Structure 1
Amino acid sequence: MSALKTLFKQTFIYGLATVLPRMLSFLLVPLYTTNGVLSSVSEYGEVSVIFSYFVLFNVVLAYGMETAFFRFFNKEDDKNSVIGTSAISLIISSIGFFIIALLCQEEIASLIHISAKYINLVIWILLLDALVIIPFAWLRATQRPMRYAVIKILNVVINLGLNLFFLLALKDLATPESIFKGIYRPNFEINYIFIANLVASAVTLLLMLPFYVKVNYEFNSELWKRMMKYALPVLIAGIAFSINETFDRILLDYLLPKDIAKTQIGMYSACYKLALFMTLFATAYRLGIEPFFFSHAKTENPQKNYARILEFFVALGAVILLGVVVFADILKPIIVRSEDYWEAMWVVPIILLANFCLGIYHNLSVWYKITDRTKFGAYISIIGAVVTLVINLGFIKSYGYKASAIATLVAYGIMMLLSYLLGRKYYPIPYNLKKIGLYLVLSILFSGLSFYQFRANYIVGISMLIVFLGVISFSERNQIKQLIKR
């Protein structure tokens, strides 16, 4: 139980570092979807496409080195060599990318269908974000969650504050006699969004400079080769994951007629944000359990703790799934302000369930991470990416963003099942399938009925939620009592 106590403590702090900042940045969604801030739904669609490329390039620039750092930091006796080697590797690769990208920015803009006026800002942001990957990993590996949390929160507070200033206040302040007159530029809103992001990333790197001052810059080529061997499958899995997560926006942009593509993407991306509650929970949980998986791999009977962790995750995730679905139409006008976006609300339960499956997959992935079989993670993610691409390419032209939502659910569902089946062979964990299955089936059934049959009927929806909470409370009564006592 002490191991679980440590997990929940770390998850809570990392949750603050993830959930609270993203809840602050969540305010950007109602900001961007408020009439008059961005000129149209299609403009928000353009922002969404650019951020989709951010996800893909962030994965490429990290190339699995963060996960490799965790593995070798816990495995190697010479931890300074691990820190120095990984830091030097990221510095050289990031600066190399930066130089090449700056020289080829016009070609890049033409290739990925993004206006050249945004590319320069995007390149700088990618560089700054890449340079803090190892410092953040070091904070997590050395059990410094508070500093990690403070810097992460500050990053998003700055980003949010500058967005509010540029998109709301600056226009009013830019009077003829104001000093802000020279700053404000009409129809410059998308640039302002990325300028805010750039400043936040620069401040984050500045706060991480003490790490680079203390690093022992000693490059161990033999260690680097072993780290890269471990990291490359993670990179492949990361690219596949980014395809599953955001590539649908890029495909929508390519496959739909140009006159409706950005509008469809804008509606889809805005309503997709209602699934953020599940994403936040799953991300915070993952940040807590990843160091936990490695540090407890050599303890006596770690499989028992891993099994209980998944039970807790499924129970909490099922409550979030049903709760958000029941109150979706109450949350809708708070988060997605303009009715112009609401046509895509159909995807909300599907995306919530998809992210729930992804969270379960991350919990199940313990088997290949601690047994150094990361290639299986790559295989599973590649299969998921193939499913995503096949469904999107086959059905976007007929069904638009609905095909993208279903593709996400099918891909994550298959990844979850494959990880469980392979894990049972290579690293058996005694999961309580009856309990987990009960939570999953009941929450999915109630969510489907609530949204598609009894939508906005809160008597029915809340009744289902109460019944489900009762089932979990009864099933987990002993565990809940122990946690409360501790």
Structure 2
Amino acid sequence: MSGIKKLAGQTLWYGVPTIASRFLGYLMNLSLPLLFAQPATTADLTQVYAIIPFLNVLFTYGLETAYFRFSQEGDKKKLYDTLSVSLIGSTILFTILLLLFRNTIARWASLENHPEYITLMAGIIFFDAISTLAFARLRQENRPKRYAFARIAGVVMNIAVVIIFLGFIHKYVQSHRDSFLGTIYNENNRISYYLIGNLCGSILTFFILRKEFTEIRFRFDAALWKKVMHYAYPLVIVGMGGMVNDMLSRLIYQHVVDLPEHEAKTQLGLFGQIYRIAVLVTIMIQAFRMAAEPFFFSRSKEENPQRTYARVMKFFVIACCFMFLFISLYIDVFAWFFEAIDKPAWMVGLNIVPLLALGNIFLGIYYNLSIWYKLSNKNMSGAFITLAGAVLTIVLNILLIPRLYYLGAAIATFSCYLFMMVVSYVMGQKHYPVPYARKKLITYIVLVVLLYLIHLGLVYLWPNRWFNLATATLLLGFFTWLIVRVEEKELKNMPVVGKLLYK
């Protein structure tokens, strides 16, 4: 249990700032319906944020995971210096290329009316990319306070800039058109201030991490770099394939859907908002990954680490099941919110959120399973799994989006992550067997889906809001009771949970 307790502590230290920063950003994104009545207005922002993850994978090319892997052996300072020189040089080169081909990229992404979005995007990616190794070093050296401060400060700056421009300055300009602010404030392109806020947050984060950059010695060990690249280059394929699976539907939506331009943008804006609700699950998954990756590598040298990995998976799946129930059982609350603020256009499509949330749980399980190829130096196997998932995603998106619109995109995402999870499990058990509690975990997942369907049926029979909330709470309580009973032996040994539940 000591390994689980250590991981839980690390997840708390590194996960809380990640959850806090992502949740603050998530709330800011959810504010879009408050500011823009029509979903089509936000389609360009959805498009930009579908491109950024692809470029982040390209700009960082697996160096973060490689740093954790190779910091377990050899000179850590030489490793950090070599990889930092590589990252800074490549980031400058890639950013210049982005700016040179700005107009071409804008046309390809249906952003030809706003090429400035590409410039802002390039700035965001530049500062985020060169901060990657600094954050990895803080995690590897177990310096959570500095890590947390840098993460949260960037998001707070982002939110502050957006509030200032879309709140205070916007109101001021309404009554002072001839003022200096009135002449520079772009009333017709308010969505751009989300990107400006993001850029300001990324710059502040870079400034906070300046000590990590000043400690870089510009020395480059070519032999070490080649060794690291041999390990890391399959991770680029994994990352790119992962982004195809995660972002492709939003990236190509306007190109494959057979609708007029404005309607296509409306659909994309709606799908982007639906996805933001579903990825509440991935906030927790990302927090877990921040702690789990260095933890898994550090545990790999110990006796029988597979037993620890199996227990980690069990608690991870249980946590994901709770997140799924929370989102799916209370999904109507989002609809009531949009109804209350008189933005009915945003209520469309909320019924597909549980499908996306379940798909993201499969993605989280896949992340856990992926430790087999990272520890056994079979990263190309992970690349092939991800590429196969990417092919499936592309085919399903092209086939289903024109017929089912964003439901088709959701089915494609769900199918891809289910496929990757199953294939990774089968291959992992051959090359790096881990005694996962397979039957129990499948039972938990099937059960929460059944509880959601029961709630859906009950609400269909009696569409009363108080009945809706009451039955949702009862079903969530039932699952909580079941876990407490079934996992009593494990939970009793946990220092805080055990005392609370089994006094």
TM-score after normalising by structure 2: 0.92
Aligned counterpart, 1:247: 248
Give CA deviations for 1:372-423 in whole Å, capped at 9, x if unaligned.
Answer: 1111111111111111111100111111110000111110011111111011
Amino acid at match of 2:133: I
Equivalent residues of 1:84, 1:219 under 8 A apart: yes
CA 247–217 in structure 1, closer or farther in 2 if over 3 Å, else same: same
Alignment partner of 1:6 is 2:6:
yes
Equivalent residues of 1:325, 1:450 under 8 A apart: no
Aligned counterpart, 1:306: 309
Aligned counterpart, 1:339: 344
CA 157–278 in structure 1, closer or farther in 2 if over 3 Å, else same: same
Q: Distance in 2 between matches of 1:296 and 1:80?
A: 22
Q: Distance in 2 between matches of 1:428 and 1:401?
A: 38
Aligned pairs for 1:40-79 (under 5 A) are: 40-74=38-72, 76-79=73-76
Alignment partner of 1:110 is 2:111:
no
Give the drift of 1:462.
2.8
Give the drift of 1:173.
1.8
Aligned pairs for 1:292-331 (under 5 A) are: 292-331=295-334
Q: Distance in 1 between matches of 2:254 and 2:4?
A: 44
Alignment partner of 1:417 is 2:422:
yes
Aligned counterpart, 2:237: 236
Give the drift of 1:107.
2.0
Q: Secondary structure in 1 aligned to 2:445?
A: helix
Amino acid at match of 1:416: M
Tell me whether 447-456 or 405-414 shows the greater mean CA deviation: 447-456
CA 180–413 in structure 1, closer or farther in 2 if over 3 Å, else same: same
Aligned pairs for 1:147-296 (under 5 A) are: 147-174=146-173, 175-176=176-177, 180-256=181-257, 257=259, 258-296=261-299
Q: Distance in 1 between matches of 2:477 and 2:293?
A: 32
Aligned counterpart, 1:441: 446
Count of residue pairs brought into register by the alignment: 483
Structure 2 residue runs of 5 or longer lacking an equivalent are 499-503
Give the drift of 1:282.
1.0
Q: Secondary structure in 2 aligned to 1:396?
A: helix
Amino acid at match of 2:307: K
Give the drift of 1:459.
3.9
Aligned counterpart, 1:351: 356
Amino acid at match of 1:9: G
CA 359–58 in structure 1, closer or farther in 2 if over 3 Å, else same: same
Q: Secondary structure in 2 aligned to 1:372?
A: coil
Equivalent residues of 1:64, 1:231 under 8 A apart: yes
Tell me whether 287-296 or 336-345 shows the greater mean CA deviation: 336-345
Alignment partner of 1:471 is 2:471:
no
Give the drift of 1:259.
3.1
Q: Distance in 2 between matches of 1:113 and 1:182?
A: 28
Give the drift of 1:441.
1.2
CA 370–105 in structure 1, closer or farther in 2 if over 3 Å, else same: same
Q: Distance in 1 between matches of 2:122 and 2:135?
A: 20
Aligned counterpart, 1:135: 134
Q: Distance in 1 between matches of 2:338 and 2:213?
A: 39
Alignment partner of 1:461 is 2:472:
yes
Aligned counterpart, 1:38: 36
Q: Distance in 2 between matches of 1:332 and 1:280?
A: 21
Structure 1 residue runs of 5 or longer lacking an equivalent are none
CA 294–332 in structure 1, closer or farther in 2 if over 3 Å, else same: farther
Tell me whether 392-401 or 446-455 shows the greater mean CA deviation: 446-455
Equivalent residues of 1:240, 1:384 under 8 A apart: yes
Q: Distance in 2 between matches of 1:433 and 1:463?
A: 27
Alignment partner of 1:144 is 2:143:
yes
TM-score after normalising by structure 1: 0.96
Equivalent residues of 1:30, 1:335 under 8 A apart: no
Give CA deviations for 1:176-195 in whole Å, capped at 9, x if unaligned.
Answer: 57553344221121221111
Aligned counterpart, 1:394: 399
Give CA deviations for 1:266-312 in whole Å, capped at 9, x if unaligned.
Answer: 11111222223211111111111111000000101101100000000
Tell me whether 233-242 or 119-128 shows the greater mean CA deviation: 119-128
Q: Distance in 2 between matches of 1:313 and 1:345?
A: 26
Q: Secondary structure in 1 aligned to 2:493?
A: helix
Match of 2:81 among 80, 84, 90: 84
Q: Distance in 2 between matches of 1:420 and 1:30?
A: 35
Alignment partner of 1:370 is 2:375:
yes
Q: Secondary structure in 2 aligned to 1:454?
A: helix
Amino acid at match of 1:91: I
Give the drift of 1:111.
2.5
Aligned counterpart, 1:451: 456
Alignment partner of 1:483 is 2:498:
no
Q: Distance in 2 between matches of 1:363 and 1:103?
A: 39
Match of 2:97 among 95, 100, 113: 100
Amino acid at match of 2:295: F
Q: Distance in 1 between matches of 2:415 and 2:139?
A: 32
Aligned counterpart, 2:501: none
Q: Distance in 2 between matches of 1:152 and 1:330?
A: 30
Amino acid at match of 1:77: G
Q: Secondary structure in 1 aligned to 2:71?
A: helix
Give the drift of 1:329.
0.9
Q: Distance in 2 between matches of 1:53 and 1:179?
A: 34
Q: Secondary structure in 1 aligned to 2:391?
A: helix
Q: Distance in 2 between matches of 1:293 and 1:31?
A: 37
Amino acid at match of 2:231: Y
Q: Distance in 1 between matches of 2:377 and 2:164?
A: 47
Q: Secondary structure in 1 aligned to 2:209?
A: helix
CA 188–330 in structure 1, closer or farther in 2 if over 3 Å, else same: same
> What percentage of aligned pairs have identical amino acids?
34
Amino acid at match of 2:24: L
Amino acid at match of 1:277: L
CA 439–156 in structure 1, closer or farther in 2 if over 3 Å, else same: same
CA 182–12 in structure 1, closer or farther in 2 if over 3 Å, else same: same
Q: Secondary structure in 2 aligned to 1:392?
A: helix
Give the drift of 1:221.
0.7
CA 452–203 in structure 1, closer or farther in 2 if over 3 Å, else same: farther
Give CA deviations for 1:148-184 in whole Å, capped at 9, x if unaligned.
Answer: 1111111111111111111122111222575533442
Q: Distance in 1 between matches of 2:178 and 2:96?
A: 40
Give the drift of 1:141.
1.1
Equivalent residues of 1:33, 1:44 under 8 A apart: no
Equivalent residues of 1:274, 1:335 under 8 A apart: no
Give CA deviations for 1:124-161 in whole Å, capped at 9, x if unaligned.
Answer: 11111111111111111111122111111111111111
